[in-house]
Amino acid sequence: MAGDPRFEMQIDFAAKELTVKLVYYGPALSGKTSNLRAIHWLGTSNACGDLMTLETKNDRTLFFDMLPITVSSGSGLKVRLKLFTVPGQVMHNATRRLVLQGTDGVAFIADSQRSEADANRESFLNLKCNLEENAIDPERIPIIIQFNKRDMASIRTDEELELIAQRSREPIYKAVATRGYGVMQTLRGLIRDTWTKLEEDHELEEKFGISPIHFMTEVEAKLKHDPGPRGR
């Protein structure tokens, strides 16, 4: 599927508009929807659109959640970020694979509880497999990892995460998504890594005259509200 325009970032040169797809992946109940809810609640209303959730009556994601964020930069370039979650339950694998189609970056939301270590690993392997099925190279797509639920008992300690972060290829973030801590740092990290990759692949600075630093400054300005204490 490589080379198929459907599976690349959408660029509309005439409208000077970019559409970037970001997917929140992870095991069931790790807090993917909570991340989107928190972003929707913390983000400024002129950037964030309505949060669309497609869930069953007991709050389990059925297909996906979607949150559109629009960043209109000073250079006249309009960037539409579309944040998606996937359903975490094992049985919804086909839906996860569909949602993952054409993604530009992935935030993997892991559960910090020790008891969930296996579920995290399994879900990550599933992510790798589904990326490959969608002809996306897992080695090349930006992936960041968020250890969520830092407020729970029996979690991996900060020291452990420190060690994990040292040998991890993916940047590690910490969060309590239900209270909004760390979600914006995670999102900014994801946008930064994704933009860096898009810049490498598509030379956006040359085409649209917007440098990565400039773009991130715009994003920071648009998404400035965040009461969370520490991210990385």
Partner 1 sequence: MTLDQTNAADIMMGDVVRLEDVLSRDSVTSVCKSFFGLFGLPVRVISHEGDLLADVHRDQPLCNYLNTLGNGERECARTVGVVRDLEHDVQTIVHPCFTGAVYRIVPLEYQGRPIGRFIVGPYVPAETTQPPESLLSIDESIDAATACAHFDTMPRVREHVAEEISAHLKGVLELLLFSGHRAQLASTMQVASVRENYRELAEKNEALKSSFEELKKLDQLKSTFLATVSHELRSPLTSIIGYTEMLESGAAGALSNGQAEFLGTIRNKADQLLGLISSLLDLGRLEAKSLDLKHEPIDPHALLSDLAATIVPTANRRNVSLDIQIGDETPKLWGDPVRLSQILLNLADNAVKFSDEGGMVTIRAEQGEIDAAGASGLGAALFTASRPAVLLTVQDGGMGIAEHNLSKIFDAFYQVDAGTTRVHGGAGLGLSIVKQLVDGHGGKIEVTSTLGEGTIFSVTLPAADEDA
- Comparing CB distances to partner 1, the nearer of 94 and 153 is 94
Q: How far apart are CA 101 and CA 116, in angstroms?
A: 27
Q: How far is the CB of 105 from partner 1 (least distance, A)?
A: 14
Q: Which two tokens stand for residue 217?
A: 């400054």
- Comparing CB distances to partner 1, the nearer of 19 and 178 is 19
> Do residues 221 and 185 lie in contact, with contact meaning Cβ atoms separated by under 8 Å?
no
> Other CB atoms closer than 10 Å to residue 200's CB: what's the count?
11
The correct pick among 40, 82, 150, 174 for binding partner 1 (CB under 8 A) is 82
Q: How far is the CB of 95 from partner 1 (least distance, A)?
A: 5
Q: For strands 17-25 and 10-12, give the pairing.
A: antiparallel
Q: How far is the CB of 92 from partner 1 (least distance, A)?
A: 8
Footprint of partner 1 on residues 2-41 (CB under 8 A)? 6-7, 10, 19, 21
How far apart, in Å, do the first and last CA atoms of the chain sit? 35
> Helix (H, G, I), strand (E, B), or coil: what is residue 181?
strand
The correct pick among 2, 45, 50, 167 for binding partner 1 (CB under 8 A) is 50
Q: For strands 78-85 and 17-25, give the pairing.
A: parallel
> Helix (H, G, I), strand (E, B), or coil: what is residue 84?
strand
The correct pick among 8, 16, 60, 70 for binding partner 1 (CB under 8 A) is 70
Q: Does 49 bind partner 1 (CB under 8 A)?
A: yes
Number of shown-chain residues binding partner 1 (CB under 8 A): 28
- Cα 37 to chain centroid, rounded: 13
The correct pick among 8, 29, 60, 68 for binding partner 1 (CB under 8 A) is 68
- Comparing CB distances to partner 1, the nearer of 20 and 38 is 20
Which residues make beta-bridge pairs with 144?
Answer: 107
Q: Choose the stretch contacting partner 1; rule: CB under 8 A; options: 34-42, 60-68, 156-164, 176-184.
A: 60-68
Q: Choose the stretch contacting partner 1; rule: CB under 8 A; options: 66-74, 104-112, 114-122, 150-158.
A: 66-74
Look at residues 133, 52, 54 and name the one whose alpha carbon lies nearest to residue 98.
133
Q: What angle do CA 161, 164, 166 make, to 5 degrees?
A: 110
Footprint of partner 1 on residues 102-131 (CB under 8 A)? 102
Q: How far is the CB of 209 from partner 1 (least distance, A)?
A: 21
> Do residues 96 and 27 lie in contact, with contact meaning Cβ atoms separated by under 8 Å?
no
Which residues sit at the interface with partner 1, rule CB under 8 A?
A: 6-7, 10, 19, 21, 49-50, 52, 54, 62-64, 66, 68, 70, 78, 80, 82, 84, 92-95, 97-99, 101-102
